[in-house]
Amino acid sequence: MGVEFIYPEFEVIRNEARCIACRVCERQCANEVHAYSEARGLMISDESKCVNCQRCVSLCPTRALKIVKSDCVLRENANWQNDTIREIYKQASSGGVLLSSMGNPKPLPVYWDKILINASQVTNPPIDPLREPMETKVFLGKKPEKIHRNADGNLDCALPPQIELSMPVMFSAMSYGSISYNAHASLARAASALGILYNTGEGGLHEDFYRYGPHTIVQVASGRFGVHEDYLEAGAAIEIKMGQGAKPGIGGHLPGAKIVGDVSRTRMIPEGTDAISPAPHHDIYSIEDLRQLVYSLKEATAYRKPVIVKVAAVHNIAAIASGIARSGADIIAIDGFRGGTGAAPTRIRDNVGIPIELALAAVDQRLRDEGIRNNVSLVVGGSIRCASDVVKAIALGADACYIATAAVLALGCHLCRTCHTGKCNWGIATQQPDLVKRLNPDIGSERLINLMTAWRHEIMELMGGMGINSIEALRGNRLMLRGVGLNEKELEILGISHAGE
């Protein structure tokens, strides 16, 4: 025990009258919290190791367990909060950078919750999505500025390469290595069944998943792990990852302990080596350099696949997006500061970047002002939590949304935010075979399909209420949005009026 000892953050409450000492909790907890005491003839707990993942609570057959946040706290202090003091103790003993997982948990504004959606009344009547046609299909990629006719007067229907989605939602980048084989299998299968796309992240594509290629976005990140000709050919689109919402300005790091077996083969790096992606792409220092990579990837795939450039939402995102739109990219993906991650330095995750709502509104407006909005499609992510967030994002100007945290929640994640430890008790953010097998891809993909089916129905209901029957008609339709409790500057950036106006 160090000088800094403080009471554990969580308490394990075991109802002794209900506990039958079946030891399920002991077998299910990879953090070794529970144990059976032969001497005392009962279960005991070392709650200092508990991360509150709720696995034991969910599987206890007699509902004997509860995990509660400890009410044993340091003396109240509005400036020096308990979490801050814990972090200082941790760094004082380790000397290391603090690491965190999942998205920024700080109470910063969530603009989606301060934006309300319109509904038709009396005139311009609502549409009943159960009885009338409603189009949720979208196509991502460059669109022509005007209609062209060929020499014999017929319409020229040839378009640059497009991604077709049955609804405006895709599964965002999560690498094989940061998430398990079974989590990847669930995402790939669900994307195929739904007619949408999932994203390999920067870890390459396991050979078993090549068959899902038409529903796969293959990512090219600064580490270039697992990137080769067949990989590029396999995907429906190629994404250049310049940045990520949870950690703008820095690269990635998958510890050597997770680079085992198939993960090492797929990434094309030796087992046990840390997979470190540099902060910059070492061949990109300007929009011209980015253009070279965009066209190299197009050239490598015979100009048949759209190229996405993914960036984190940062202060001058509108100017950055304008440059990307001129680089030849077909799609810009912007990741807001609440976006999730398998691991990021805590200070970066919690303090760098800007909300996706403001970034999206600023980028869409800038591209319109410059007359280049049709040059690119816009995909946004960074804590899209539900169908109404999707509808608001489309109305603010997005063509589609990326989701990741919502997808892993559907797979059973309980947001304990300890993915970086590699001991995910739900079989998602782990490579430990005994934990991976806890996630059944048949069930996982079915749950993802259910989630997306539910969202699609809700999107149609919300659009119907507005009297709008297609995503195309909703896109950039900011008249359908009103702000509540926002100041004038926020309303100006979002390009919406206040409720009551």
The C-alpha atoms of residue 286 and residue 283 are separated, in whole angstroms, by 9
**C-alpha distances in Å from residue 46, one per residue of 58, 182, 275, 404:** 19, 30, 33, 32
> What residues have CB less than 8 Å from 401, skipping those under 6 apart?
168, 169, 170, 379, 380, 381, 384, 389, 390, 393, 394
Is the CB of 198 or the CB of 426 nearer to ligand SF4?
Answer: 426
Kindly state whether residue 416 participates in binding ligand SF4, applying the rule CB under 6 A.
yes
- Minimum CB separation from ligand SF4 for residue 424, in Å? 3
For ligand SF4, give the closer residue by CB, 386 or 409. Answer: 409
66 binds ligand SF4 (CB under 6 A): no
Q: Could you tell me which residues are beta bridge partners of residue 252? A: 277
Is 415 one of the binding residues for ligand SF4 (CB under 6 A)? yes
| 413 touches ligand SF4 by CB under 6 A | yes
259 touches ligand SF4 (CB under 6 A): no
The C-alpha atoms of residue 462 and residue 469 are separated, in whole angstroms, by 10
- Please state the closest distance from residue 143 (CB atom) to ligand SF4, in A: 37
- Give me the 11-50 binding string for ligand SF4, x by CB under 6 A, dash otherwise: -x---------------xx-x-x----------------x
Give me 315's structure tokens: 């202060």
Q: Is 54 in the site for ligand SF4 (CB under 6 A)?
A: yes
Q: Which residue number, 140 or 407, has a Cβ lying nearer to ligand SF4?
A: 407
- Which residue of 14, 55, 247, 298 would you call a contact of ligand SF4, by CB under 6 A? 55
52 is an interface residue for ligand SF4 by CB under 6 A: yes
Contact 128, 374 (CB under 8 A): no
Residue with tokens 């367990």: 65
Contact with ligand SF4 (CB under 6 A) among 254, 324, 419, 439: 419
Type and span of the H or E element at 25: helix 24-28
Q: How far is the CB of 486 from ligand SF4 (least distance, A)?
A: 31
Per rule CB under 6 A, is residue 174 in the interface with ligand SF4? no
| Residues 161, 172 contacting (CB under 8 angstroms) | no
DSSP H or E segment with residue 44: strand 42-45
DSSP character for 481?
Answer: E
Polymer length of the chain = 501
Q: Which span sits near ligand SF4 by CB under 6 A: 114-122, 143-151, 408-416, 445-453? A: 408-416
User: Contact positions toward ligand SF4, by CB under 6 A?
Assistant: 12, 28-29, 31, 33, 50-56, 67, 101-102, 408, 413-419, 424-426, 428-429
